Amino acid sequence: MSSSPDTGAIPSAPIGAQVDEDPSKLVRSTAHGDWENPTPLYCVWEITLACDLGCRHCGSRAGDARPGELTTEQCLDVVHQLADFGCREVTLIGGEAYLRDDWHIIATEITRSGMSVGMTTGARNLDDRRLGQAVDAGLRTISISIDGLEKTHDAQRGSKGSWKAAVDAARRVAKTPIRLATNTQINRLSMPELPALADLLADIGSKAWQIQLTVPMGRAADRPELLLQPFELLELFPLLVWIKQKKLAPNGIRLFPGNNIGYFGPYEALLRYGGEKGAHWASCAAGKWSIGLEADGKIKGCPSLPSDQYTGGYIQEMKIIDAVRNTEPINFMKQRTRDDLWGACKTCYYGDVCLAGCTWTSHVFLGRPGNNPYCIHRQMEYEKQGLRERFRKLGPAPGLPFDHGLYEVFTEPIPDLAEGDAPTISGIDLTDIMNLAKDAPSVWERDDIIERLKTA
Ligand code: SF4
Ligand code: SF4
């Protein structure tokens, strides 16, 4: 279901942000004592790479199961290891987690071991039998991926009928004791449909909405026309605030900006979860507060990070906590300082706290961490200078799960607006966006969708 990007999703909400809330309600939130000795509180666990969708932006290029995926017995041992070192919440992903016959056995054991368990899913085949298994396993949350209105979603997910299946599954989840959440990839196709999508989420009963920017990893790395140019964050952030205030809050939907929706400036308090209580971005959580596990046993500090460079070890060979404590590919964030930053992040006012935001985003754009173009503060600073930042693709990705291509970022003068130009978002007239109905097929013409999804 291409949940891999969604997990960076994935890492979502307030991991690592300092939030003064009851941790029993938000179990992955850090409480004050946790900061003395950071240990992963949250695990995103890919239990299979098998998938029933073919998402055009899938970071893990999911489809077939990985060779040598963990056995049931090994998975249950993983559950016990997680519980032993104090992990509080586990999100099962794939591929599509429910395609493993034993997925509910693993989920049940997570609950039984005292942790909270959820699932992120494309829900193409989340039928009543599997939903019943989820209820019996004690799932707290099911987060369903919806990347726009029907035609837009189906095109990105590579499967006609996938939007209808996701919306139908969402309505059925909403009738169970499981909390319905939704998640959305933000890119040049989905951005103009976000207001209409927010209306749809209210209609289906979503309680939380996790959003994240599509970044050039896996299949998305092959599709630069799909990705937002960094300067387009200047359109996105005011739109998100408007949606949150006008459409989400009145319907009781919590907005969880993913860890690559960054950072600081006037939008931090308005958008960051807990921002109204003073929570702020406190740098990448990889290996400190979160870990990611892959179905063949790889242990990483964050599920989204490129597997080649960020695997600390294998479950078959070492204890998870030893990999977390003792391997540099996982605990790199405990050592990162401003000296490790480069480009515009190096001299940024927020550099000491931010540490260049999301490691994953920086790495998959520029081949190494420490310089993050998807940052609203940075784009606002450029705008003051009459500049805007864009990227250009330099080289292809090799075609492996969690791989990336190579891009460069550069600045250019902001072009003058022609007199009488109507305001647009992602090139679509703002009036059309605001008038878009939640049951419209798409704001896009077919050719525009094909253009945005083309490979290059
Ligand atoms: S420019 Fe870099 S260091 Fe500064 S806030 Fe943005 S991502 Fe963080
Ligand atoms: S790399 Fe860091 S900030 Fe980015 S998604 Fe992973 S844990 Fe979150």
Lowest mean pLDDT among 3-12, 84-93, 170-179, 314-323: 3-12
Give the confidence band of 13 by pLDDT, cuts at 50, 70, 90. Answer: very low
Ligand 1 cavity residues, CB under 6 Å: 262-264, 344-345, 348, 350-351, 354, 356-357, 372, 375, 377-378
Distance (angstroms) between ligand 1 centre and the Cα of 397 equals 26
First and final C-alpha spacing in the chain:
23
Ligand number, closest to the Cα atom of 288: 2
- In angstroms, the CA 435 to CA 361 distance is 32
369 in contact with ligand 2, CB cutoff 6 A: no
How high is the pLDDT of residue 362?
Answer: 96
| Average pLDDT score, the chain | 91
- Pocket perturbation via mutation, ligand 1, pick of 338, 353, 377 by most ligand atoms within 8 A of CB: 377
Structure tokens at 42: 């949250």
Alpha-helical regions (H) of 35-140: 72-84, 103-112, 128-136
- In angstroms, the CA 239 to CA 190 distance is 13
Counting every residue written for the chain, the total comes to 456
Nearest protein Cα to ligand 1, atom 8:
356
pLDDT tens, position by position, 245-285: 999 999 999 999 999 998 999 999 999 888 888 888 999 99
**Dihedrals phi, psi of 182, to nearest 5 degrees:** -135, 155
Instruction: Read off the DSSP letter of residue 328.
Output: H
Distance (angstroms) between ligand 1 centre and the Cα of 263 equals 7
The distance between the two most distant Cα atoms of the chain, rounded to a whole number of Å, is 67
Distance (angstroms) between ligand 2 centre and the Cα of 306 equals 11
Report yes or no: 44 and 11 within 8 Å, Cβ to Cβ: yes
- In angstroms, the CA 388 to CA 374 distance is 12
Distance (angstroms) between ligand 1 centre and the Cα of 343 equals 10
pLDDT, greater one: 279 or 130: 130
Residue with tokens 């749809």: 200
Residue with tokens 């950072």: 263
How high is the pLDDT of residue 307?
Answer: 93
Q: All domains of the chain, ordered by start, with CATH?
A: 35-335 (3.20.20.70), 338-413 (no CATH)
Q: Which atom belonging to ligand 2 lies closest to the Cα atom of 10?
A: 5
- In angstroms, the CA 163 to CA 153 distance is 6
- Pocket perturbation via mutation, ligand 2, pick of 360, 368, 374 by most ligand atoms within 8 A of CB: 360
